[in-house]
Structure 1
């Protein structure tokens, strides 16, 4: 029986950088990124013989990320990821495929005496995501949201589920629904050159969150599908939406022992264990995603 080298790749993970664009002496813009690069290609010799002639040091990958961050203005993270991925494939002959993942952390200006402060911020929750794959099979881009927490205090039910002797959950016609949205949406491949990345991102994000808020929920699974369906209905540039929605449980507290009635106002928040709902919504005529697309 022969032993062979299987699929492999390597790279630099989580290159952290902050880019300050100094528009004037006191008016600044802030961009906070976390960039990961992964490369594959003609790399068998380094695994099998320790021959590093085709290996680009991961330190070099980090330097490229920092150097490209000098672009002014710094483009949308999808475009930044595309530039990095194409560079690594075009500049280094042994490399045929590059995967780039970018997270952008949002900061908002601190209110000042005369409006938003021009060079002071506070960190907001969640993150914007971009994933790029560039290789022999083509170029593909996905975008998304990371860890955006949402909650609605009514408009959610859960009942009619299977029961047996292990079931303790009571059905409910009114509950708090809370989750941390992890979303990815895939762009049409023909759009990766001309896409208006910022507009597309904001529209998809707003549709996801609006649908969560407005759609009456009979289950988190139903809400997941409604969110993905709404994005694809409104955005022709997108072909697939993947969602991971952990159920952040809020349980009504029984105050009867204290002689008090809890009219759906006091809840215990539990962080674990928790249910997690995952699903994909896609156009039935969409080209399959490239197997190596960096969804995570």
Structure 2
């Protein structure tokens, strides 16, 4: 029996940086990123013999991220991830594949007496995501959003499900539907990426996802998931696949009858765990398969 080295990669995870663009002495722009880089290639010797001649220190990877963050202005995170991935493959002969993941945390300006403050912010909810894979098979980019909380106070049902002696859940024709949206969408392959307006694509896709959640009369969170993905692909020709994770943030009506009360669907107990987790992929039936190890969220 032979023992061999299988697939492997290494990198620098969660490089945190904030880029302040100083337009004037008092008017600034803010970009808050979390960047992870993972590399693979001709790296067997470091595993098998401890020979590090082909190893780029992860400290160097971190330095590259910081160096490239000096771009002014910093590009959309998809473009930033593409530049990093191409650099690591082009600059280091032993490396043939780079995976880059970028999270952008949103900040909004604090209102001031004369409008939005020029250099003071408050952290907004959720985050924007980009994943890039660049290697021998080509280049692929996915975008996404993470931890965007949404809630509908009506327009959601859940009934007709399978029951057995372990079932305690009562069917309902009206319930609160709440979730935190985690979504990734894969772009059509474009080796250059220059033809894509990344910001407009992200804004439009996010708006479609949230609008569809709001407007779909839900018979299950699974149905809502599919409707969200279908709407995105219908409206945006440049996308080929949407992956969604929707944890069900349960809102359970409180029973005030033991202390003489009545709840007309107005008071709920919110539970954070355990929770239902609904996951699914919606894709075009003629879409090329995703490249291996595409860095989804």
TM-score, normalised by the number of residues in structure 1: 0.99
Gaps of 5+ in 1: none
Partner of 1:169: 169
Tell me the distance in 2 between the aligned counterparts of 1:164 and 1:42: 55
Tell me the distance in 2 between the aligned counterparts of 1:194 and 1:80: 15
Partner of 1:24: 24
Partner of 1:71: 71
Matches within 5 A, 1:80-99: 80-99=80-99
Give how far 1:194 is off.
Answer: 1.4
Give how far 1:259 is off.
Answer: 1.3
Matches within 5 A, 1:127-206: 127-190=127-190, 192-206=193-207
- Cα-to-partner distance string for 1:199-258 (whole Å, 9 max, x where unaligned): 000000000000001110000000000000000000001000000000000000001112
Does residue 1:294 correspond to 2:295, yes or no? yes
Segments of 4+ moved more than 6 angstroms: none
Aligned length: 296
What is the SS of the residue equivalent to 2:205?
helix
- Cα-to-partner distance string for 1:112-140 (whole Å, 9 max, x where unaligned): 01011000000011100000000000000
Tell me the distance in 1 between the aligned counterparts of 2:96 and 2:174: 53
Give how far 1:193 is off.
Answer: 3.5
Partner of 2:222: 221
Tell me the distance in 1 between the aligned counterparts of 2:196 and 2:140: 12
Tell me the distance in 2 between the aligned counterparts of 1:127 and 1:274: 22
Gaps of 5+ in 2: none
What is the SS of the residue equivalent to 2:71?
coil
Partner of 1:276: 277
What is the SS of the residue equivalent to 1:46?
helix
Partner of 1:103: 103
TM-score, normalised by the number of residues in structure 2: 0.99
Tell me the distance in 2 between the aligned counterparts of 1:230 and 1:51: 51
RMSD value, Cα = 0.7
Tell me the distance in 1 between the aligned counterparts of 2:109 and 2:194: 32
Matches within 5 A, 1:25-64: 25-64=25-64
Partner of 1:252: 253
Tell me the distance in 1 between the aligned counterparts of 2:68 and 2:93: 20
Partner of 2:115: 115
